[in-house]
Amino acid sequence: MDIRLLGAEPSAEEKSAIDEILGAPVSAWDGGERGSMRDAHTAEFGGHSTREQRHMLLPALQALQSRVGFITEGGLDYVCARLGVPPAEAWGVATFYAMLATSPRPRRVVHVCDDIACRAKGAVKLCAALEARVGPPISHEPEGDHVPLDRDKAAWMHSPCLGLCDVAPAALMVEAGETVMERSIGGANIERLYALLTEIKVPGADGANKPHILRSPQIVSGGLLQRVGKVDPTSLAAYRAAGGYAALAKAMDMGAEGVIREVTESKLVGRGGAAFPTGRKWEAVRTQKAQPHYLVCNADESEPGTFKDRVLLTEDPFAIVEAMTIAAFATGSEHGFFYVRAEYPLAFERMNGAIEQARAAGLLGENILGRGMKFDIEMRRGAGAYICGEETALFESIEGKRGEPRNKPPFPVSHGLFGKPTAENNVETFANILSIILDGGAAFAKVGTPQSTGTRLFCLSGTVRRPGVYEVPFGTSLRALIDMAGGVPEGRTLNAVLLGGAAGGFIRADEIDIKLTHEDTRASGTTLGSGVVVLFDETVDLRDAVLRIAAFFRDESCGQCVPCRVGTVRQEEALHRIASGKTRGGVSAELALLNELGDAMKDGSICGLGQTAYSAVESAIKRLGLYSEAGSAHA
Amino acid sequence: MTVPSFVQIRRPDREPKKTIELQIDGKAVKVPEGTTILTACRTLGIEIPTLCYLETLRPVNVCRVCMVEVEGSRVLVPSCSRQVEAGMVVRTGNDRVNHTRKMVLEMLASSVDLSTTPGMDELLEEYDCKPERYGPPAPPAAAGVRDAAVCGHHTPPNPDFAATVAQPPMVDNDLYIRDYAKCVLCYKCVEACGVDHQNTFAIAVAGRGFDARISTELAVELPDSACVYCGNCIAVCPTGALMAKREFDMRSDGSWDEEKQKATDTICPYCGVGCTLTLHVQGNEIVKATSPLDNGVTLGNLCIKGRFGWRFVQRNAES
């Protein structure tokens, strides 16, 4: 395939950043010099071998972004030449991700979160103060072709949830350069942000990339968080000394079918939000005839209010590597992908370190534990797109395409990554595997309730006294969980709880005796989702939180299907009309319209994003009565 | 329109297919394995509206107009891409299905200029759509603004208006125009330009959400892009967002009149492929050239010469 390039030359800096990721070009066909025999039109060069590298498109664009701070014309052209990707398609991919800038930007950008949990902790005021002090953020609609900013200075922009809700308000600083600098900032205040935007030197006392991690109470002994804070997450030796890799050895003794039997018996269901039985998924992949099989760890934890996977990945990365290896053994996969959201630099670093150490120790690679098993894990980073947490959108993203979800069926177990059978699980799901193997599925199933087995990690944030990750057995009441976290601050009253994230729903303060199980939440019309529990006391404007959720879905819709692309816009507009008192035919007419839109989004959207974009809004209307007469008086 | 399906044209079956039995709107129907629900419905004479579906393109199931209910499925399913399964129970016209179709059409009609979409007025009426209930359309974006939209937090909505994709038409060459105020983002042009037909890859979907748009790389003008002006994107565009310059100009000055046009099939005179050309003639002047979708040679495709290179005919007549 001949592709037409822009004809723009990359700078030496851009070229070296891209070559670092892709290796040096081998012929004129993939961006190298002309004149060698390798330029000959042979099947070896320029054809499939180049185009098969399409899955390196996002990493190559990220390398460019990390080095120069935005996707330059010359850089884009060079990436396209290297990978045989038409520039229009590469442009489509680059413009899909919020962390990739497609117009010039300063090297340093501070992303300031103003999502639900940070909002409850004053993020809106913080952003307003920041704007007053340093000027407006990078805007959605830049004037003309370029953002008028000084390249040498820094800029800031609003950010959706950064997964640092336990240390809200939060921010993330990214500075492009020879070595990209990324800092997660918890407890952000105006002075701190001002310093980051005006001082070129980053305050060294930051604790490097380390976000403040709150220790979470461990309720169940031998639970998921048993090593958190106790075992050095950067040392394989420490992990092994704490019993690590015993599960993998035992799994190999049990055989693939034995592993799946235990996982099925444990009744473990996925912890990403959809709660699909893990054993059934693995068995479906294992028995697929098509080869190869792939294993994917979904660490694109982006549901607003969710940060449990961040804690697991930063504090116990070897457990995830070991569990992925067991899953690969059970499903017959030799190739695994670990896809983590861009906003988790420390998680990426820790997992990368863990994978490298495991590889060096023969725990990944050609002959794992000397028993002939072959498996390795490739790392991928997201680039700022909530939708890529959707399982099939994540495949598209890995494949170097826009993160647009696929229509199902066919399902990933038969047609997943690269069209092959794929087992994709959430980080917390993987974390549960180790105890299932070591103690048996039956023992696992004894914890929790008969239908919701094991423990669950809950992310407590908002106006809660002790935010953090709490592990409790399924069946614990929400009230007990809130009490463990100290409830709302002294002297305040709980007004509402957001359960399950933006894709979940609000519940009233008088409903918190609900048992935290899949069956109980389903029965009362709500969901556990990804384990989000955001508390709101009377200091939080709930209607503002609803507006933010509506804006979030409008921002994060991939734009592929009409119900979601336009529905999320119309939903937000209706809520703004209510908020501004400019309703079309009164509040009740707007609520009826919202319901009509919600039904169409639920029934007509391709994926879970559109299908749940009305959930939280609906719960605010129907459960909280936020827009009824009483609710209006209250707000 | 009876058009052989894409699959049948491209990949003739070597083995006879199994027959699948299912039920649609209470009627039993037998169709070959691999048939889509849409095709199965058409064999029963059940009409299902579509926008992003075309017989000659791989279904992308993004417009969600063709949704139907399948028993046991949590959500509605796109009939254009979902293949039939034995024992499937399909309902094509109940309240739930009609509601989603109505809302999808309303969403489009309130945000996109559908004035040149064939059959759209009838469809909007059939589903009782009231696009005006979302408020007066927002003023059009200035040229280039939608192409420069940045992912992330958007500008908060103005409660006085309904957001639209309106922007000025892009007229950057003599052969065809791109009026993305009329674009429903059906992906057909991208598919036709890409692996489904032309393999030129001059355009792709860029941006995200409501800001998603069809774009060349860096939104450069067509003459600077990879475009080869085959016009196969125009042939598949369901809304007239992509239109030959000639038609655009005639519509602009009010002289375009389809009722006065006569379509005549002939063979393209340029090369030995022998593409069937349909010449649309108005007032003894060729105003447009297309090729039939069901033509085995072209599948509706032409090259720059066949699509645009017929002005010489007029030249002789004029002189």
- Asked if residue A380 has pLDDT above 70, the reply is yes
Measured N-to-C along each axis, helices A308-315 and A345-360 cross at an angle, to the nearest 10 degrees, of 40
Of the candidates A291, A289, A282, the residue with the CA atom closest to the CA atom of residue A329: A282
Tokens of A390: 């959707």
- Please report the pLDDT score of residue A220 as a whole number: 41
Euclidean distance between CA atoms A478 and A455, whole angstroms: 14
User: Bridge partners of A459?
Assistant: A469, A532
Task: Give the closest-approach CA distance of A428 to chain B in angstroms.
Answer: 26
What are the extents of the domains in chain A? 12-94, 108-206, 236-446, 455-537, 542-634
Mean pLDDT of chain A: 91
> Which chain A residues are Cβ-neighbours of B156 within 8 angstroms?
551, 576
- Asked if residue A267 has pLDDT above 60, the reply is yes
pLDDT digits (tens, 9 = 90+) for B203-213: 999 999 999 99
Strand, helix or coil for residue A174: strand
CB contact under 8 A, A600 and B220: no
Out of A101, A579, A604, the one facing B67 most closely (by C-beta) is: A604
- Asked if residue A336 has pLDDT above 50, the reply is yes
B135 touches chain A (CB under 8 A): yes
- Please report the pLDDT score of residue B314 as a whole number: 79
* Confidence at A25, pLDDT banded by 50, 70, 90: confident
- Please report the pLDDT score of residue A30 as a whole number: 74
- Please report the pLDDT score of residue A74 as a whole number: 96
B145 touches chain A (CB under 8 A): yes
Tokens of A284: 């479906």
A583-608: average pLDDT: 97
Of the candidates B48, B14, B17, the residue with the CA atom closest to the CA atom of residue B30: B17
> Which chain A residues are Cβ-neighbours of B230 within 8 angstroms?
none
Q: Which of A569, A578, A584, A614 to mutate to test the interface with B (most CBs of B within 10 A)?
A: A569
User: Bridge partners of A299?
Assistant: A340
> Which chain A residues are Cβ-neighbours of B162 within 8 angstroms?
570, 573
What does B72-115 look like in DSSP terms, one character per residue?
T-SS-EETTTPBP-TT-EEESSSHHHHHHHHHHHHHHHHHS--T
Residue B277 φ/ψ, nearest 5 degrees: -110, 135
> Which chain B residues are Cβ-neighbours of A584 within 8 angstroms?
133-135
- Report the percentage of chain A scoring pLDDT > 90: 82
Q: Encode A268-283 in three state secondary structure.
A: CECCCCCCCEHHHHHH
pLDDT per residue of chain B (319 residues) written in tens, 0 to 9: 444 444 444 455 566 679 999 999 999 999 999 999 999 999 999 999 999 999 999 999 999 999 999 999 999 999 999 999 999 999 999 999 999 999 999 999 999 999 999 999 999 999 999 999 999 999 999 999 999 999 999 999 999 999 999 999 999 999 999 999 999 999 999 999 999 999 999 999 999 999 999 999 999 999 999 999 999 999 999 999 999 999 999 999 999 999 999 999 999 999 999 999 999 999 999 999 999 999 999 999 999 999 999 988 877 655 5
User: Bridge partners of B277?
Assistant: B266
Residue A623 φ/ψ, nearest 5 degrees: -90, -50
| Residues near A568 by beta carbon (within 8 Å), at least 6 away in sequence | A550, A553, A554, A557, A601, A610, A613, B209, B210
A76 touches chain B (CB under 8 A): yes
- Please report the pLDDT score of residue A150 as a whole number: 59
Cα separations in angstroms, A424 against A246, A339, A345, A395:
23, 10, 22, 10
Of the candidates A388, A617, A596, the residue with the CA atom closest to the CA atom of residue A504: A617
Q: Which residues of A449-484 are buried (b: 16+ CB within 10 A; e: fewer)?
A: beebbbbbbbbbbbbbeebbbbbbbbbbebbebbeb
Euclidean distance between CA atoms B38 and B21, whole angstroms: 15
Q: Which of A119, A560, A591 to mutate to test the interface with B (most CBs of B within 10 A)?
A: A560
CB contact under 8 A, B226 and A87: yes
Measured N-to-C along each axis, helices A246-266 and A317-331 cross at an angle, to the nearest 10 degrees, of 70
* Confidence at A141, pLDDT banded by 50, 70, 90: confident
A185 touches chain B (CB under 8 A): no
Question: How is domain A236-446 classified at the CATH fold level?
Answer: Rossmann fold (3.40.50)
A210-238: average pLDDT: 70
| Residues near A180 by beta carbon (within 8 Å), at least 6 away in sequence | A66, A67, A174
Closest-approach residue (CA) in chain A for B141? A141
H-type alpha helices, A332-390: 345-360
Instruction: Compute the C-alpha angle A132/A385/A212, nearest 5°.
Output: 65
A78 touches chain B (CB under 8 A): no
- Asked if residue A420 has pLDDT above 90, the reply is yes
Euclidean distance between CA atoms A40 and A43, whole angstroms: 9
Of the candidates A277, A114, A296, the residue with the CA atom closest to the CA atom of residue A193: A114
DSSP structural state of residue A8: P
Query: Domains, chain B, ranges and CATH?
Result: 6-93 (3.10.20.740), 257-319 (2.20.25.90)
* Confidence at A628, pLDDT banded by 50, 70, 90: confident
Out of A4, A96, A602, the one facing B75 most closely (by C-beta) is: A602
Closest-approach residue (CA) in chain A for B199? A1
Tokens of A222: 């031998």
Q: What is the architecture of the domain spanning A542-634?
A: Up-down Bundle (1.20)
H-type alpha helices, A332-384: 345-360
A556 touches chain B (CB under 8 A): yes
Indicate the range of A142-156, A409-423, B117-131 predicted with least confidence: A142-156
Euclidean distance between CA atoms A406 and A606, whole angstroms: 7
Euclidean distance between CA atoms B284 and B157, whole angstroms: 50
DSSP structural state of residue A344: -
CB contact under 8 A, B75 and A76: no
B residues 204-263 lying closer than 8 A (beta carbon) to A: 204-212, 215-220, 225-226
DSSP structural state of residue A44: T
User: Bridge partners of A172?
Assistant: A111, A184
Q: Which of A99, A119, A603 to mutate to test the interface with B (most CBs of B within 10 A)?
A: A603
A314-323: average pLDDT: 96
Euclidean distance between CA atoms A461 and B255, whole angstroms: 64
CB contact under 8 A, A551 and B154: yes
H-type alpha helices, A383-539: 391-398, 427-439, 441-446, 478-484, 518-523
| Residues near B264 by beta carbon (within 8 Å), at least 6 away in sequence | B278, B279, B281
Closest-approach residue (CA) in chain A for B201? A86
CATH H-level superfamily of A108-206: Glutaredoxin (3.40.30.10)
A7 touches chain B (CB under 8 A): no
- Please report the pLDDT score of residue A46 as a whole number: 59
A423-438: average pLDDT: 97
B136 touches chain A (CB under 8 A): no
> Which chain B residues are Cβ-neighbours of A580 within 8 angstroms?
159
Q: How many CB atoms lie within 10 A of CB B265?
A: 12
> Which chain B residues are Cβ-neighbours of A566 within 8 angstroms?
107-108, 110-111, 210
- Please report the pLDDT score of residue B308 as a whole number: 96
Instruction: Compute the C-alpha angle A56/B204/B156, nearest 5°.
Output: 100
Name the more confident of A630 and A257.
Answer: A257
- Please report the pLDDT score of residue A27 as a whole number: 73
B195 touches chain A (CB under 8 A): no
Task: Give the closest-approach CA distance of B292 to chain A in angstroms.
Answer: 27
Of the candidates A72, A74, A53, the residue with the CA atom closest to the CA atom of residue A5: A74
pLDDT digits (tens, 9 = 90+) for A524-562: 999 999 999 999 999 999 999 999 999 999 999 999 999
Closest-approach residue (CA) in chain A for B138? A573
Task: Give the closest-approach CA distance of B238 to chain A in angstroms.
Answer: 15
Euclidean distance between CA atoms A369 and A418, whole angstroms: 28
Euclidean distance between CA atoms A340 and A347, whole angstroms: 8
Euclidean distance between CA atoms B37 and B77, whole angstroms: 9
* Confidence at A3, pLDDT banded by 50, 70, 90: confident
> Which chain A residues are Cβ-neighbours of B160 within 8 angstroms?
582
Euclidean distance between CA atoms A264 and A52, whole angstroms: 36
Beta strands in A450-598, from DSSP E residues, in sequence order:
455-462, 468-473, 494-499, 505-508, 532-537
- Please report the pLDDT score of residue A629 as a whole number: 63
- Please report the pLDDT score of residue B165 as a whole number: 98
Tokens of B244: 């030959």
Euclidean distance between CA atoms B86 and A428, whole angstroms: 37
User: Bridge partners of B45?
Assistant: none
A85-103: average pLDDT: 96
pLDDT digits (tens, 9 = 90+) for A565-575: 999 999 999 99
Torsion of CA A4, A9, A11, A14, to 10 degrees: 0
pLDDT digits (tens, 9 = 90+) for A468-480: 999 999 999 999 9
A370-376: average pLDDT: 97
- Asked if residue A216 has pLDDT above 90, the reply is no
- Residues B44/B24, Cβ–Cβ less than 8 Å: yes
Q: Which residues of B72-93 are buried (b: 16+ CB within 10 A; e: fewer)?
A: eeebbbbbbbbbbeeebebbbe
Of the candidates A203, A191, A199, A209, the residue with the CA atom closest to the CA atom of residue A152: A199
Q: Which residues of A500-519 are buried (b: 16+ CB within 10 A; e: fewer)?
A: bbbbbbbbebebbebbbbbe
Q: How many CB atoms lie within 10 A of CB A624?
A: 23
* Confidence at A52, pLDDT banded by 50, 70, 90: confident
Q: Which residues of B144-153 are buried (b: 16+ CB within 10 A; e: fewer)?
A: eebbbbbbbb
- Please report the pLDDT score of residue A631 as a whole number: 47
Question: Which range, A226-235, A620-629, B90-99, is most confident?
Answer: B90-99
Cα separations in angstroms, B167 against A7, A515, B143, B213, B241:
29, 52, 6, 12, 12
User: Right CATH number for A455-537 from 3.40.800.20, 1.10.287.4070, 2.60.40.650, 3.10.20.600?
Assistant: 3.10.20.600
- Report the percentage of chain A scoring pLDDT > 70: 91
> Which chain A residues are Cβ-neighbours of B204 within 8 angstroms?
86, 88-89, 91-92
Out of B145, B150, B163, the one facing A569 most closely (by C-beta) is: B163
